[in-house]
Amino acid sequence: MAFWSSTSVFTSKVPRKILFMFTLSLSVTYLFYSLMSCYNSLQFPLQENYAYQGKLVTEETTFVTLREKLYSTSQGLSEFTETERTTAVSTARDHAEAEQRTVEWIRSQASPTKSAAAYHTTALEREHQELSTTDSELRVNCTMDYGVKKLPQAIIIGVKKGGTRALLEALRVHPDVRAVGNEPHFFDRNYEKGLDWYRDLMPSTLEGQITMEKTPSYFVTNHAPKRIHTMARDIKLIIVVRNPVTRAISDYTQTLSKKPEINTFEVLAFKNRTLGLIDASWSALRIGIYALHLESWMQYFPLSQMHFVSGERLIVDPAGEMGKVQDFLGLKRIVTDKHFYFNKTKGFPCLKKPEDSSTPRCLGKSKGRTHPKIDPDVIRRLHKFYKPFNMMFYQMTGENFEWELEEDSGSRSSQD
């Protein structure tokens, strides 16, 4: 009762207006110190007293905690409105500077061994790369000039000496196709170098353009189908096929130009010519057993993702075959008959621009070699050997390439 009476006397003597101002002043002061405390904790998260929290601070725990704090406020950048993008960019730069200060602060505060410090510094740099980009998810690398480097969306996987080079060069005329000139051989020889290495080989592409490459040996490489499927299960595959007998002779002709000392085609083609035993282990002949190799690819890819180009029709009707390829790739038919000129000397079409009246651009000297004369009896036996495999291939693909109608294939030109 005495307390309440004294309080009543006090309030009666002090004007209510003064009392209100006094209370308001205390409230504003409290609010000010609260805001200052929040501001310091937000702006300088790296200077928290971890010892006060009862933790044993090591370089590793400090790194994880600091990383969480530095990036917790950057997740909302993508939700900014158009008028806030400038501020967002400035904030991102501030985070980069803060991260640099983080590295310096960790080095000055923590005292691990030199080997541990080197390990965690590397880990910090590696995590920065993982968190500051989505390359691993999108399979995309930005380039310094324009466009991006992507893993291929389409690959010419075969076959050797079938006409793959001619097809690739014709496709590169299309403005929406970007392709590697050299054969990467990633899925058969360089797979251990990783997808980042493979992607760096690719040319830069803009939105709407297709990245491509060609390596004919993929078609006959046992582990290539699984590896390509692991990279991109929706990829489009192009296979240029040719009469296997003519293809084998062309293959031998190329090898002969590099190694003149090798045995004759007739000797290499048979294990025992007298008995008519063909050596199917010889690579020049084994490649032409298309049905055998296609079976491996069909275990991973449906036929709807494969397109088979006739090497013979690519010579006599390049525009027609190119139209089908462009349709398969989802491209507008831009490469037409205006882009081709048949070179009688080489025996296959050359490329030109429709508006260009200059000399057409043909494939190199290594293309169009004259085949050596092969014993007609050997050619006949090879046709007989391949016939059942060809029939099986026709059935698997749903296309009849009519190779059995060719009788004299020994003098045909090569085109690859």
Residues that constitute the known binding site for 3'-phosphoadenylyl sulfate:
161-165, 242, 250, 367-371
DSSP conformational letter for 332? -
Return the closest-CA partner of residue 177 out of 201, 200, 154, 143: 154
Under 8 Å between Cβ of 339 and 328: no
**Cis peptide bond upstream of 159, omega within 30:** yes
Helix/strand/coil for 55: coil
Active-site choice (161, 214, 236, 352): 161
How far apart, in whole angstroms, are the C-alpha atoms of residue 269 and residue 361?
A: 35
How far apart, in whole angstroms, are the C-alpha atoms of residue 19 and residue 213?
A: 83
Q: Annotated catalytic, 161?
A: yes
Element at 210 (helix H, strand E): strand 210-214
Q: Which residues are annotated as a binding site?
A: 161-165, 242, 250, 367-371
DSSP conformational letter for 301? S
CB proximity list for 182: less than 8 A, separation 6 or greater: none
How far apart, in whole angstroms, are the C-alpha atoms of residue 148 and residue 135?
A: 11
- Count CB atoms within 10 A of the CB of residue 270: 19
On the CB side of 327, CA atoms within 13 Å amount to: 11
Q: What share of the chain is helix, strand, coil (3-state, %, to 5)?
A: 55, 10, 35
The DSSP annotation for 116-162 comes to: HHHHHHHHHHHHHHHHS--HHHHTEEE-SSSSEEE--SEEEEE-TTT
Catalytic residues: 161
